[in-house]
Amino acid sequence: MISSLISLKNKGRDADSRIQTIAFFYRIANQLVDQGAYEKLEHYEEFRPDGVLESLPQGAHLSQIIAADSENEHSKSYDVPTTSKFLRDIHISTRLMEDFLELAKDNTDKDLETCGILGAFLEKGTFYVTTLIIPKQESTSSSCQAINEEEVFAIQNEGSLFPVGWIHTHPSQSCFMSSVDLHTQYSYQAMVPEAFAIVMAPTDTSRSYGIFRLSEPGGMRVLKECQEKGFHPHQEPADECPIYEHCSNIYKNSNLRFEIFDLR
């Protein structure tokens, strides 16, 4: 059962006018990211909506998400709470991925990808993902393109949310980041360094999901300099690190509630 499902509805001419204004600024922001002119957010304003995070009583379940080692298919855990001192920890609901797969099931059965955007608030140096937005989208078996993105921005703006990541399915492929996925991830990570991508691969028997980010500085530099479109190979980073990596600063929080906006 889905935790919370909310649909965005039109609210008259005032809302239409606001959407058009937001659409303009959203397009400008995307252009700046593409041109490499958008600076990463270095100063965060903390904001916490009421009622989304219950206090953690003794015994509440908070678990770090482990990453699968693709070479030997074993799970790899981390002994430190954060991978890098420069990255803030991120908490997601224990039900987020399960609920997203339920919403994506019709598309998955048709071998079509589904994508969603994750919004978070920041408190005491930790991001809490409280919103999953399923935008209107155009999908194939190997791609998913959000449309009417100004609707997504309106929800993020209304809730003072940080765009900390995105989630999408690989309905019939393995769990990995395609070249198109890498470019999408770059647009998020260029704005919020902690931004991450969740890949759900229900037919991959060795690893059903992965949580990834571009390596820094190598992977980010490769994507910044790449001008190719569509599916294409990328050169190896100059620092010889993988172009993308598993995140180890993501935690499942059993006390974190979230909302789902399905705009399709």
CB within 8 A of 191, min separation 6: which ones?
Answer: 33, 38, 40, 41, 163
- Give the total number of structural domains in the chain: 1
β-strand partners of 252: 63, 92
Is residue 57 a part of any domain in this protein? no
Neighbours of 165 (CB within 10 A): 28
Length of the chain: 264
* pLDDT given for residue 86 in this prediction: 79
Q: Mind giving me the DSSP string for 100-151? A: HHHHHHHHHHTT---EEEEEEEEETTEEEEEEEEE--EEE-SS-EEE--HHH
CB 64 within 8 A of CB 253: no
Whole-structure pTM value: 0.76
* pLDDT given for residue 24 in this prediction: 45
Is residue 163 a part of any domain in this protein? yes
* pLDDT given for residue 62 in this prediction: 72
* pLDDT given for residue 207 in this prediction: 93
Calpha distance 197→217 (Å, rounded) = 17
Is residue 233 a part of any domain in this protein? no
CATH of the domain at 254: 3.40.140.10
Is residue 112 a part of any domain in this protein? yes
Q: Which domain holds residue 251?
A: 5-49+62-225+239-262
Strand 162-169 and strand 137-139: the pairing is: unpaired
CB 73 within 8 A of CB 106: no
CB within 8 A of 254, min separation 6: which ones?
Answer: 60, 61, 62, 93, 94
* pLDDT given for residue 17 in this prediction: 46
Alpha-carbon separation of residue 43 from 75, 122, 126, 182, 184 (angstroms): 34, 11, 13, 25, 23
Is residue 80 a part of any domain in this protein? yes
* pLDDT given for residue 12 in this prediction: 39
Is residue 230 a part of any domain in this protein? no
* pLDDT given for residue 48 in this prediction: 54
DSSP state of 227: -
| Full pLDDT tens readout for the chain, 264 residues | 444 433 333 333 444 444 444 444 444 455 444 444 434 444 445 555 555 555 444 445 677 776 544 333 333 333 333 334 479 999 999 999 999 999 999 999 999 999 999 999 999 999 999 999 999 999 999 999 999 999 999 999 999 999 999 999 999 999 999 999 999 999 999 999 999 999 999 999 999 999 999 999 999 999 999 998 889 999 899 888 999 999 989 999 999 999 999 999
